[in-house]
Amino acid sequence: MNQNEFIKTVSPFKDKLFRLAKRLLVSTEEAEDATQEVLVKLWTRNETLSELKSVEAMAMTMTKNYCLDQLKSKRAGNMTIVHNNYTDSQASLQQKIEDVDSLNWVEKIINDLPEQQKLIIQMRDIEQYEFEDIAKILDMSEATIRVALSRARKTIREVMTKTHNYGIG
């Protein structure tokens, strides 16, 4: 695989790699470093990439593993999730304030979820991955992914309902 073919292969999903790294590492600089590191590792394997069913799934798995290794070596258990790609240009100022407040609460709730549920929420609800792809990346069954996602969503819903009477009334 030459350089142009490699770029065509990785360009569609390199932003997803960055967003996953940013979700796990929080720091933009660390996420950029992680993304670059994964792309370099992919380039070193460029001769065997064409044999893979999904280069994207492998890259996401590599990114996840790299980030988790970084977290373990630096600051295990000290993760925060930042979600800053939400915009609504048509909403009123009041609605924007309420949306940001709700988003901040959801982020806080997600921070308290088990690590596996955080990853599944990120991949399914934010990155829009299919269950089959998440199962491959996390090396889990689709049923387990569905159960963990359901539990994560239920936890978020219950905490929002309990603390803010969210969706009631």
- Tell me, yes or no, whether 159 lies in a domain: yes
* Residues 97-112, mean pLDDT to the nearest whole number: 84
Report how far residue 47's alpha carbon sits from residue 38's, in angstroms, rounded to the nearest whole number: 16
Residue 38 lies in a domain: yes
Q: In sequence order, what are the residues at sequence separation of 6 or more whose Cβ sits closer than 8 angstroms to the Cβ of residue 140?
A: 134, 148
| Confidence label for 163 from pLDDT (cuts 50, 70 and 90) | confident
34-67, pLDDT tens digit by residue?
999 999 998 998 888 888 888 899 999 999 999 8
**What is the average pLDDT score of the chain?**
84
CATH of the domain at 67: 1.10.1740.10
For the stretch 121-157, pLDDT in tens is: 988 988 889 999 999 999 999 999 999 999 999 998 8
Please give the pLDDT value at position 84.
56
Residues 100 and 27 in one domain: no
Residue type for position 27:
S
Amino acid at residue number 28: T
Q: Are residues 51 and 114 in the same domain?
A: no
User: Contact, 32 vs 18, CB < 8 A?
Assistant: yes
User: Which of these ranges, 22-31, 67-76, 119-128, has the smallest mean pLDDT?
Assistant: 67-76
Q: 47: number of CA atoms within 13 Å, CB side? A: 1
Q: Which domain covers residue 98, as residue numbers?
A: 88-169
CA distance 102 to 133: 29
Q: Is 83 inside any structural domain?
A: no
What pLDDT was estimated at residue 76? 45
- Give the pLDDT of residue 166: 55
The C-alpha atoms of residue 52 and residue 131 are separated, in whole angstroms, by 19
Domain boundary among 58, 78, 98: 78
Q: Are residues 109 and 74 in the same domain?
A: no
Shared domain for 1 and 73, answered yes or no, is yes
Predicted TM-score of the model (pTM):
0.53
Least confident of 13-17, 19-23, 133-137, 165-169: 165-169
Residues 41 and 16 in one domain: yes
Same domain, 92 and 71: no
Which of 78, 104, 126 is the last residue in one of the domains?
Answer: 78
* Number of domains the chain is built from: 2
Q: Are 164 and 157 in contact (CB under 8 A)?
A: no
CATH code (residue 120): 1.10.10.10
Clarify whether residues 65 and 7 are in a common domain.
yes
Contacts by residues 35-42 (CB-CB < 8 Å, ≥ 24 positions apart): 35/63, 37/66, 38/62, 38/63, 38/66, 39/10, 39/14, 42/6, 42/10
Query: Are 100 and 74 part of one and the same domain?
Result: no
